[in-house]
Structures are given as C-alpha cells and as structure tokens.
Chains A and B, each alone.
Chain A
Amino acid sequence: MKIVIINYGAGNIQSIIFAIERLGYKAILSNNPDEIKAADKVIFPGVGEASYAMKMLKESGLDTLIPTLKQPVLGICLGMQLMCNYTEEGDTKGLGIFDVDVIKFSPKVKVPQMGWNTIYDLKSDLFKDVAEKEYMYLVHSFYAPLCNETIATTDYEVPYSSALENENFFGTQFHPEKSGDVGEKILGNFLETLKFQ
C-alpha cells in the first residue's frame, strides 16, 4: 500500500510517520502531484496557522489538486479545517470539500482546547470497532460546527464536528496519531478498511 503524507511545509508530521510505522506501514512525504495522485491513501496534515498553511498549499498548486483526488484522503486537525469552505482563522478561504465554515471558540472556555475529550455519535467506517465516548487528543482554537457531513461529535463550549466525511474525503479534528491505542485503531481503519477506487 502506498501512503503519501502531503508535505507542504506546515507543521510537524514526524508523529504521523511514526504512528504509521507502528501500524506496520511506510509512508512517504511528498508535494509532487503525480506521486500524490498515485497513492492508495493520502494524509493531509496541518499544524499552525490557517492562512499561512493555505499560502503554502497554493504555492505548490496543491490547493487545486487535493479536491480532485479520488482515493481516501484524511485531513488531520488544521488539515481538516482547510478542507472546509472557510475558516475565521486568518480570514481564509478553504478547499470547499466539507460544506461548513470553521469558527473560533469564545473566551467562555479556555482557548485553545488542549487535551483529551470524548467523541460520540460515530457514523462512519472510519470508526469501525471503536466504541462511543472514547477519548481523543485535541489541540485547537477553531472548530467546525455540526453539519450534514459530521461523523463524530465532541462537546467543548458547544457540540461540534470532531470528524467529517464527504465521499472519499475524511477529516478528524483530533490527532489519531497522538490518541493512544484507540487513535491508532482509527488511523488503522483509514489505512485498511476504507476503499474508494
């Protein structure tokens, strides 16, 4: 299986590489469109600030490539947010894969949300053999509200989308690569269960 992690200079991806290796696979890092198109599975990571990350995506032309991909694509954290229509962070237009606008938590809660929180109302093969209310590791200041594409919900200030799915595109607000054995199970499901080609 050919796993490509999209490398566009945004954030720390070593954790994802290590998690994939613990599952017994190898991933390659690439920003080459042909290599990304040829992959069986694509992971779209992201840590950092949205407008800067989008600028990096545009510079490499990946902003137009990603929405055309046909194989399973998993956006993680900021990667998921960039796959949405829009994010308030840096007033940034997203890739429009998920039909939802990302907004900021209010100061009523500690921002960023940083730590472990539960996911529930699981509605996807991404969560095959994963129980309701398992804890995942989350670090974020902005969130995607609940929408038609919500496949997991988390409560922080309000119930919001902690995972999204639209056809072959998946996004998790949490970090499966940092969420213990259950997180690894979810990453494993993405690599092993989901097929769209």
Chain B
Amino acid sequence: MDIKNGRTVKGVNFVDLRDAGDPVELAKIYSDEGADELVFLDISATEERRRTLVDLVRKVAATINIPFTVGGGISAVSDVEVLLQNGADKVSINSSAVKNPQLINDLAQKFGSQCVVVAIDAKQIDGEWIVHLVGGKVPTKIKLFDWAKEVEQRGAGEILFTSMDHDGTKNGFANEALAHLSTLVNIPIIASGGAGNIQHFVDTFVEGKSDAALAASVFHFKEIEIKALKKELKNNNIEVRI
C-alpha cells in the first residue's frame, strides 16, 4: 500500500496518483482475505506527515495478524526505532540506503537483518538495469545487480525489487531480472511492479524465481481476489498458505 497523507494511493509509473481508500480498513480486509504480508510505503514522508504515519502504523499493527513492513522517509536508526515501537515488524529503506549505505549495516546490527528490507527501484537504460531514487524519479550511476550484492553483504534481510518499466503497466513482473537477482544473492527477493492478472503471479514464482510477490492496485481495485490468486498458485504447485 502506497500511503500519502494518511490515505492509500496508487499511480502508474509512480505518478498520477489515485485514491484507493482508508489504509486501516484495507489492511484489515487484506489480512482477513489471506494476504501473507502487508507493506506500507509512505510516499509523502515529509517531516510534518511523519506523525500521521506513525499513528497509522500503530492502528494497522493493532488490527492485523500478519507481518507488517513499513517504508518511506527512513534515514536514521531513530526513525526505525519509532516504527518498530509502534508495531512495524520490518522496515524498508530505499534512497537513504543509496545515499548512506552504512545505514544498512547499522540497522542490521541494531535490529537484526530480518528487520531490514532494502527496496530497489530500477529501470533499464541502454540495456542496463539502473537504480533510481526518490520514488523512481532520479537516476543514479549504480547498477541494480551490483547494488543487490552490496546490500546483501551489508546485512539486508530481503530485497524488494520494483521494476519501474513494469510498475503500473499490468503486463507482468520483470522476471528475467528477478531470476538473475535470485542467482546473485542468497536472501529472499520480493517481486514488485507489473502485476495485472493471476498468471503474472504464477510466472514470477516459476520464471522469475521470486520468493514473494507484491502488488497494490490489482487488489485495491478488486481486479484480483487474494483467495482466488492463492488457489491458482497452489494449483500450479507453488508453495502457498491457503
């Protein structure tokens, strides 16, 4: 769930945001329907909005009984402390990890690797997957595959990889890049960006070797029902909690 100013929003390629509802209500619905994990990404993340986010995190954590990851605007150990104290189980860091890679080490040391998800937004430029910052707006010089290996070495417990070439397009996940990531690192990879139908999920587990798949709008706008999705995954011999 992308959160902006206390509401769930969803855009295409990180722009054109649509309102998708009340985060606490949605979280409860997804938890009850069988979602295996909930990820909050706060895309407003300005200082004055932080308090709103922490209150929301607390309300959601009190409501759901599945793992809960929170990201957006985290740049210091103290930011993480506040989120964990309010019921988050893991945090996701993105731009701040690129700007200050030592933050990954610091968080892993203080809270354990299991707590630290490094989110990577990337898109292809001249055939190379390049890491982007600030919700995918600003290109860096860093290559996705180099960065993935580095974050693992620094203590990341999971990688949440969003292909901005795929995000919001509903044409399927970036399975080729995902499968390559899976051979490079030995930590779980969460596929993100591109889910449009149930077959896309099957494909990302089979072809993309993904350990988990993340989607937002197909659930928010009720295009895919979680129970039906999980049943189909099981029919395809993919290990899944029903």
Contacts and interface: CB of A to CB of B under 8 A. Distances in A.
A51 B215 CA distance: 37
Nearest to A117: B239
Interface stretch (B41-49, B110-118, B122-130, B199-207): B110-118
A19 interface: yes
List 10 A-B pairs, minimum CB-CB distance, nearest first: A135-B241, A139-B114, A48-B112, A12-B84, A14-B87, A116-B241, A18-B62, A114-B188, A178-B67, A110-B186
Contact of B187 (A48, A49, A110, A178): A110
22 contacts: A11-B112, A12-B87, A12-B88, A12-B115, A14-B61, A14-B84, A14-B85, A14-B86, A15-B68, A15-B87, A47-B111, A47-B112, A48-B111, A111-B187, A112-B157, A115-B188, A137-B36, A137-B67, A178-B89, A179-B66, A180-B65, A184-B65
Contact of B65 (A11, A139, A183): A183
Interface of B: 31, 36, 61-62, 65-68, 84-89, 109-115, 157-158, 186-188, 211-212, 240-241
A135 to B, nearest CB: 4
Given A49-B112, A180-B241, 18 more contacts: A12-B87, A15-B68, A48-B111, A48-B112, A110-B187, A114-B187, A115-B188, A115-B211, A115-B212, A137-B36, A137-B67, A141-B113, A177-B65, A178-B66, A178-B67, A179-B66, A180-B66, A183-B65
Contacts, number: 81
A interface: dominant SS? mixed
A107 interface: yes
A126 to B, nearest CB: 17
Interface in A2-18: 11-12, 14-15, 18
B186 A21 contact: no
B35 to A, nearest CB: 10
A195 interface: no
Contacts of A48: 110-112
Contacts of A110: 186-188, 211
Contact of B89 (A15, A107, A116, A180): A15
B65 A21 contact: no
A22 B188 CA distance: 30
Contact of A112 (B85, B114, B241): B114
A38 B110 CA distance: 31
A139 B36 CA distance: 13
B65 A179 contact: yes
B36 A115 contact: yes
